[in-house]
Amino acid sequence: MRNILRFLGFVAVAAIAVGVLFLWKSASVGPAPPFASVPTVRLAELDREFTALVGRVLPSVVSINAIPAGAADDPRAALLRNLLGAAPGAPPPPQLGSGAIVSKDGYLVTNWHVIQEASSVQVHLNDGRSLPARLVGADRLSDVAVLKVDGEDLVPFEFADSDEVRIGQMVIAVGNPFGLQETVTKGIVSGKGRRMMSEAVNEFFQTDAPINPGNSGGPLVDLDGRIIALNNAVIQNTDGIGFAIPSNTVRRIFENIRDYGRVIRPWFGVSMHPISPALAARLGLPDTRGAFVQATLENSPAARAGIEPGDVILSYNRRAIVDWKDLRNRVAETEPGKDVEIGILRQGKKIELRAKIEKQPGD
């Protein structure tokens, strides 16, 4: 009897196994189950959203032709060359770049290096219009320039808060690489706080969205269609290492130039010194992070806040300071008149102070 039960159990298990195998084979050769179409639907939705995003931002991007001095031949100079029998030289080619419309009344932002040697600037819009642009002002230290065009029905970008940008965030770059208008590339924010040029007073975002010559001055855009940065440069012979100027820096410079005709520099009023390993050991610091205060200027925001020579500034507005250049950049990005929190180390004791950043004396 026990053997019969065992046999019946074996038959039952075998029958179940055969049934499962049959169902699996049927599913593999038969019609796909309903859920198999879900990924395709999601991809189609993603495609529609992405193309809609590009369609929204393209009208706000311009291509720039910066005509260098001498490119537009003076008829009198040409006549003189003909009289002297001199062959006319080939005019220098225009500098190609990109820009972003940031107001309905025709203000544009781009890179200073795109238009710095130009005698005239022509911008080309998404709708086919070509408009002359004039230089309103520029900040060479941050490589940002502001242009103005006269035109109707202009579609401006909105600035995003670049302090809220996250590493890994998806972005698109739009511009005029190699003269190919309306080129769109995509990628992510690969890094923040990069120092690409020693003379720059601002830091940069790093992105792997392909950026090429002609992209300079064009926008780096988030998935809401807002500018998070202005494309600036790419490291040659690398794969996907580009740099862009954060939008908060660009917006501050644009608003300064629009409202005052120049850039208003913030002022803190300290003389700083790098912290070497030897100095860190003498001060009892665990590492070389921070900015060592050599001196505070009389009647400066730093002096009024109570900062003294010998202090080490560890944080600025609750953000840790890496070194003196980091502090300089943080101050440069602060609006004059804003209160900031300063964390310092004085004789081994941490102290919190507050300072009101002011305009540079003479501004």
Which tokens is 91 given? 């005019």
From the list 113, 124, 247, 315, the catalytic residue is 113
Place of tokens 């409202």: 259
Are residues 207 and 187 in contact, defined by beta-carbon separation less than 8 angstroms? yes
CA–CA separation, 64 and 217 (whole Å): 9
CA–CA separation, 110 and 253 (whole Å): 11
Which residues lie across from 231 on neighbouring strands?
A: 244
Query: Does the annotation mark 143 as catalytic?
Result: yes
From the list 139, 143, 208, 326, the catalytic residue is 143
CA–CA separation, 61 and 157 (whole Å): 9
Task: Pick the closest to residue 222 from 178, 168, 301 (CA basis).
Answer: 168
CA–CA separation, 292 and 344 (whole Å): 10
From the list 60, 63, 162, 216, the catalytic residue is 216
DSSP tag of 286? S
Query: Does the annotation mark 216 as catalytic?
Result: yes
Q: Who contacts 311 (Cβ-Cβ below 8 Å, separation ≥6)?
A: 292, 293, 344, 345, 346
Bridge-based pairing of strands 358-359 and 266-267 is antiparallel
Q: Who contacts 351 (Cβ-Cβ below 8 Å, separation ≥6)?
A: 343, 344, 345
Active site residues: 113, 143, 216
